[in-house]
Chains A and B, each alone.
Chain A
């Protein structure tokens, strides 16, 4: 770590001050197997003097023992830290490394090229701002190059370096470089990157890594390190509407109730009005509490504790937002899904869906399409297998608050967990509330109680003839209904009850009780609640009317 050593020696305090002000860039290396990703990072660490003497000694020994360079230094061994990786000369899991130059600090994730370990590549990509996508100059674009590029675009990385590597093995040929760059730009066009910077490299020998290489006089663009030090990534989202998923409610004693979380967007000051996305309740910020004293302002990225001026109900899983620009609150998001497990997705099966704050059971109701990573074409598929990428419709047990992933990585992302094995099986990025949910019909008209704010989906069930069978008792089975429901009453239904017949509603859960009660209220009906081993049911009927079938023997007070 010999950078800026003059300043370190002469004025350590000034040096520390300058360190504080450095910006941080998180990037990944990705691309196909053996294209040189680990070598490239190893070389960057080496050239930025981040390799210590003792590490160098073990690197030299390791290179002789298991290196791929015939005993010469194998920089990849600085990264491939697992036994299995060193033995096989491949990367299996993502490695996080840290280095800094005079201008920036870097966190780099070196990801594996093998398709089998795509989930580990996605792990690294999810928190990165820039991707260095490697291509072996001898091989050109491969399926993994395309898959990784697509994943990179999907997780919202806007700037990519097309690192055309191993140029030493093609005699630093400009034609080869140009052809690969042309191919790539054509392929990546639909991915909509903000910038693609192609650089001819030899990661092994250091060409165009730190300085312009004499071997590529025909290339006038930046060296890799130049690019990384200067690339401007999108700014923070402090100007966006305020969002804070509530992570924890801090209640040390009766007089303090603080809501803890990391601000996902926006800026907040004491006095600002806030709204709980799910309930619609509002209040104002009283204090922004930290151990170093109350803050006058907090912005996106900070971990804070807010107290409010009113005693409103807020708990983990809620999202605090500005009142006039609330998030989506719905049960049926449509999302990009990256399937990461050997067992394919089972549409209809319940998984746990974990978002910024809430864990909710939910299922995939439909796979709209999968994407062919080579052509980026959509294809119809029944499900997604390992490393499959597609667009799906979800159905959650209850509505949750989220934004689209495009708007906010933190509030627009989710993972899916297998309920039985606890494996993380998928990564999801919300595209929108499902189109269906935009046509929200409200049961009680405007009002905060039953109506679901902001596009929550309400399913209306028409109580028509199809539910009525014979005389006596007809059954309406609601156990298959997962969301909020409302009823539309038909003439034949009122007729049926008017004749003394009864209707039994089988409920999935108590959330459905309200809708049935409302029906009874609207139609002046009586109802009876019954809880048995089979579940909960409600019998509704018209009081004082004898059934033609003679079943009603107790004057309408029971079954």
Chain B
């Protein structure tokens, strides 16, 4: 029943591959949400393993808020080409027209550019299943979510109406318009992800490694000046510091940490010795207790 002859990572890998294959076998039009971060990198790698020697039989989709780090975009395009996968990039054009930006719209920005953008794209392409790289160890409401997470026709998650999920038997049945979000990395921890990247030599965006980068200090966080859209506020100066990112998102919302870790083992070492969780670098979670749950109910990944 358990497979203790396999290492912990081998067990996680097998579970994820099984999940990914199950989606392809049971859904008509799946897509993999590719956010360009380390979790997406691992998820994509697992998808390639699941279907080797074929390429994964689904496209990648990136919901581009137009505020991602430039290095992320370059990396994204290179990976899609290398893996031989179709890449769908969706931008919420309505939001762009309205000039929605992280500086002007606060919490609304994520709603409009990420959540709304995602819903638009899922509707436009009529995807019935969407892979996401979220892990249960990231946040309290994620820890409660099923691997196959049912969404109604409005993309809403109802935490009180989750389907029982037993063994490896996933209920994939949906009605037209409904969809399932699938999280193959549900049971991976941050350490597992790093360790696997290390073992399998999985390429990741260079921003994860420490390098000297231009940053400003704002509200106690180090924000990288990735392009000239970041307007300096009175008293702010651009400093050059050796920094890296524990998590990648929109550059104005993602805090850098000062670090000298420029190799994977050093990154892992640093992660293990720190005493704050990775999501702290993401401003969205600080809004209020339960903010992630609310976002998820509204259709956020």
Q: Which residues of A approach B to under 8 Å, CB–CB?
A: 1-2, 5, 8-9, 12-13, 15-16, 19-24, 26, 52-55, 58, 61-62, 65, 78-84, 86, 92-98, 105, 107, 119-120, 122-123, 126-127, 129, 156, 233-238, 247-248, 250-252, 256, 258, 260-262, 289-292, 299-303, 305, 316, 340, 352, 354-356, 408-410, 413-415, 417, 422-424, 427
A256 to B53, CA, bound (A): 9
A-B contact count (CB 8 A): 222
Q: Which of A233, A303, A305, A354 is the one whose CB lies under 8 Å from B14? A: A303
- How far does the alpha carbon of A500 sit from the alpha carbon of B263 in the complex, in Å? 90
CB distance from A355 to the nearest CB of B (A): 8
Chain B contacts for A9, CB-based, 8 A = 269, 273
Interchain nearest-CB distance for B56 vs A (Å): 11
**Chain A residues, Cβ within 8 Å of B105:** none
In angstroms, how far is the closest chain A Cβ from the Cβ of B31? Answer: 18
Q: Which 9 A-B pairs give the minimum distances between C-beta atoms?
A: A301-B3, A81-B140, A252-B54, A303-B17, A422-B173, A291-B52, A126-B166, A52-B277, A303-B14
Chain B nearest Cβ from A464, distance in angstroms = 43
User: CA A305 – CA B18 in complex, angstroms?
Assistant: 11
CA distance A143 to B2 in the complex (A): 30
B290 is contacted by which of A83, A238, A251, A355 (Cβ under 8 Å)? A83
Interface size bracket, B side: 35 or more
User: Shortest beta-carbon distance, B297 to chain A, in Å?
Assistant: 10
- Stretch touching chain A among B32-40, B186-194, B205-213: B186-194
B9 to A424, Cβ gap below 8 A?
no
Q: How far is the CB of A54 from chain B (nearest CB, A)?
A: 5
Closest CB in chain B relative to A305 CB, distance in Å: 7
Instruction: Tell me the chain B residues, 1-34 only, with Cβ under 8 Å from chain A.
Output: 1-11, 13-14, 17-18, 21-22, 24-25
Q: Is B171 an interface residue (CB 8 A)?
A: yes
7 contacts between A and B (CB under 8 A): A5-B273, A12-B265, A96-B143, A96-B186, A236-B4, A413-B167, A415-B171
- B269 in contact with A410 (CB, 8 Å): no
Q: Is B70 an interface residue (CB 8 A)?
A: no
Q: How near does chain A come to B281, taking the closest CB pair, in angstroms? A: 10
B152 → chain A closest CB, angstroms: 12
The answer to whether B11 touches A24, judged by C-beta atoms less than 8 angstroms apart, is yes
> CB-CB < 8 A to A20: which residues of B?
7-9, 195, 199
Cβ of B264 to closest chain A Cβ, rounded Å: 9
Contact B144 A236 (CB under 8 A): no
- Flag if A98 contacts B136 (CB, 8 Å): yes
Residue numbers in B under 8 Å from A424 (CB-CB): 163-166, 171
Beta-carbon contact of A248 and B24 below 8 Å: yes
Q: Is the CB of A248 within 8 A of B171?
A: no
**Stretch of B43-51, B71-79, B94-102 at the chain-chain interface:** B43-51
Let me know if B174 and A356 touch, CB within 8 A: no
Q: Evaluate contact between B144 and A94: CB separation under 8 angstroms.
A: yes
Residues of chain A within 8 A (CB-CB) of B1 are 129, 156, 234, 236-237, 408-410
Q: Given A52-B277, A95-B144, A156-B1, are A354 and B137 neighbors across the interface (CB < 8 Å)?
A: no
Interface of A, helix, strand, loop or mixed by DSSP: mixed
Contact between A422 and B174, CB atoms less than 8 A apart: yes
Q: Say yes or no for B229: interface residue by CB 8 A criterion.
A: no
Which A-chain residue is minimally distant from B137 (CB atoms)? Answer: A98
Cβ contacts under 8 Å, A55 to chain B: 277
B85 CB, nearest partner CB in chain A, Å: 14
Q: Are the CB atoms of B171 and A354 closer together than 8 Å?
A: yes
Chain B 168-207 interface residues, beta-carbon cutoff 8 Å to A: 168-169, 171, 173-175, 186-187, 189, 191, 195, 198-200
Whether A299 and B5, one on each chain, are in contact in the complex, defined by CB atoms closer than 8 angstroms, is yes
B81 at the A/B interface (Cβ < 8 Å)?
A: no
Q: Could you say which residues of chain A place their CB within 8 Å of the CB of B187?
A: 96, 98, 107
Most-contacted residue by chain B among A260, A316, A417 (CB, 10 A): A260
Chain B residues with Cβ under 8 A from A427's Cβ? 164, 166
Contacts A22-B8, A120-B164 known; A8 to B273 CB distance under 8 Å?
yes
Give the residues in chain A near B186, CB-CB below 8 Å: 96
List of B residues within 8 angstroms of A129 by Cβ: 1-2
* B276 touches A (CB below 8 Å): yes
Tell me, in angstroms, the Cα distance from A26 to B50 when the chains sit together: 24
B280 is an interface residue with CB less than 8 A from chain A:
yes
Instruction: Answer yes or no: B141 CB below 8 A from chain A CBs.
Output: yes
Q: Which A residues are CB-close (under 8 A) to B200?
A: 292
How distant is B178 from chain A, measured CB to nearest CB, in Å? 8
Shortest CB-to-CB span from B211 to chain A, Å, is 20
* Minimum distance in angstroms from B168 CB to a CB of chain A: 6
**CB <8 Å contact, B265 and A13:** yes
A512 to B289, CA, bound (A): 61
Closest CB in chain B relative to A435 CB, distance in Å: 26
